[in-house]
Chains A and B, each alone.
Chain A
Amino acid sequence: MEQLIQQIASGLASGAIYALLALALVMIFTATDHLNFAQGEMAMFSTYVCWQLIQLGVPFWPALGLTIVFSFILGLSIERIILRPLHGSPILSIVVVFIGLLAIFHSLAGSIWSHTIKTFPSPFPNVSFAGSGYIGAHQIGMIAVSLIMLFALFAFFRFTPLGLAMRAAAQNPVSARLVGVRVDWMLALGWGLAASIGAVAGAMVAPVVYLEPNMMASILLYGFAGALVGGISSPGGAVFGGFLVGVLENLVAYFGNLTEKAFGIYIVGNGEKLTVALIIVIAILTLKPAGLFGRTTVKRV
């Protein structure tokens, strides 16, 4: 039982990271109908920037703050400079650009900071407290930071005029223009925000998975899965999906180990976490193609 709680808790911790990444994906998807394949590599690159700042002697939180600002400008510039001229071009050209960005950030990080694995400091003190048998301090911190981030974003979109304008621009760009919203800039802001969210996710997960150019590859995959399960058109759904995938993958391994102990037959274990999690994702999508909370778009013809 204790082990089960432990598995769920650590599932929630990694789920928080998947949720952040899923949200970053959804933010760009709802505005443009594009899935940004480079989201993970951008987050990885931001994490390196954060690491560099820490190496230069900047304390963790100010370094993270600077990294968020840097990532915001990076995301905004990518939209304005690279994607803006491609506005209205076929989907394949845009996919190629995303893959190009992925490759660029990957090799750029490798050539600047080398491919060797680096440790990344955790900002959370390693203290023991009630319940610390179940979950580490860093994991709690991960969940807390992610939740703060999610609530801040929720408040931004729900209560500020700029957030409302961004939602309107994503929902109906033509009408948004007709009420004076600069839709192009809203897209760029969305990219900036998505990159910032990715930066936070990267800095939170780096102490766990270590810093290297491939660190975000599997995390992005889980993020995709989370976004799809929850519904790629629903920010709240994507967050829930992220947590769900995180918990699922741990439970799969846990029950796999349990059956192995009980019957001596190996069915699934740690190695098959990703496989089984993705099978579950496919199963959910087969039953509910729009995801658990997604809306099916109905078009009048």
Chain B
Amino acid sequence: MTALLEIGGLKAYYGATQALHGLAFSLDKGGITTLLGANGAGKTTTLRAICGMVRREGTIRFDGQPIDTMATEDIVRLGVAHVPEGRGTFVGLSVEENLKIASYGRRDKTHVPRDLELVFTYFPRLKERIHQQAGTLSGGEQQMLAIARALMLGPRLMLLDEPSFGLAPLIVQEIFHIMRRINEEEGVSMLLVEQNAALALDLADNAYVLETGNVVMAGPAADIRNDEGIRKSYLGY
């Protein structure tokens, strides 16, 4: 079985500053994988590099196809949906428009109404707010909208950057539960970046621990969760 996402020798730069130094890891189809590590370890940069949002070198293959020189828009159209840090909501557009814009790049628009219905079964709260301006939603609802929008892209891989950021624990639980359901029911693989390691390890199947742009630990999430040494030295809990 080929990996869904294969990354080798990945370097990424912000201007002259190098943030990743030859990162390598791979992701199997179907599961939820989490990238853990302290601030500045390169988690967000890794997601951005996959989507071509920062200058990068190295090989990135999505489902066997090299995407390391492709533009963000084209990578997205292949089926990689990025839920960015800070949600990236179009605050001036309505909830409905935020969702509909995601089907813009898709050739086949016939299943847009069906996709909308699907999204609303996961996020019924968004349906209640469909005509509201996205900027007026609560933080939790905006995060839901961001995930819902990503789902509207009909993705095979979802990249989630800190979906728990700034949200109340109860809402985070709700959102993580929905993420698991989307993963299982829609078969969307997920790569999750989280500051909150305990939470991420509970959800994920596999985990990679990053330190200053390198993988220092890899394995099933359960093993890492149970290894007190790793937890203390890298994850801080």
Most buried by A among B92, B101, B103: B101
**Quick one: CB contact mask for B75-98 with A, threshold 8 Å, 1 for yes?**
011000110100011111100010
**Quick one: CB contact mask for A158-190 with B, threshold 8 Å, 1 for yes?**
000100110110011011111111110000000
Asked if A172 contacts B100 (CB within 8 A), the reply is no
B149 CB within 8 Å of chain A = yes
- Alpha-carbon distance A176/B77, docked complex (angstroms): 12
Asked if B101 contacts A165 (CB within 8 A), the reply is yes
Q: Among B71, B92, B105, B109, which residue has its beta carbon within 8 angstroms of that of A179?
A: B105
For residue A168, which residues in chain B have a CB less than 8 angstroms away from its CB? 90, 93, 97, 101, 104
B73 CB within 8 Å of chain A = yes
For residue A178, which residues in chain B have a CB less than 8 angstroms away from its CB? 51, 72, 76, 81-82, 84, 88
Residues of B in contact with A, size category = 20 to 34
Q: Do A180 and B105 form a contact, CB below 8 Å, given A161-B100, A174-B53?
A: yes
For residue A171, which residues in chain B have a CB less than 8 angstroms away from its CB? 90-93
**Quick one: CB contact mask for B5-21 with A, threshold 8 Å, 1 for yes?**
00000000000000000
Q: Among A164, A167, A177, which residue has its beta carbon within 8 angstroms of that of B72?
A: A177
Asked if B105 contacts A174 (CB within 8 A), the reply is no
Residues of A in contact with B, size category = 10 to 19
Q: Do A174 and B84 form a contact, CB below 8 Å, given A164-B97, A179-B149?
A: yes
- Alpha-carbon distance A240/B50, docked complex (angstroms): 45
Shortest beta-carbon distance from B146 to chain A in Å: 9
Give the contacts of B100-140 with A (CB-CB under 8 A): 100-106, 109
Asked if B100 contacts A180 (CB within 8 A), the reply is no
Nearest-CB residue, chain A, relative to B88: A175
B190 CB within 8 Å of chain A = no
Most buried by B among A167, A172, A179, A182: A179
Shortest beta-carbon distance from A173 to chain B in Å: 10
For residue A175, which residues in chain B have a CB less than 8 angstroms away from its CB? 84, 88-90
Asked if B93 contacts A181 (CB within 8 A), the reply is no
6 A-B residue pairs with CB within 8 Å: A161-B109, A167-B92, A168-B90, A172-B89, A180-B77, A180-B105
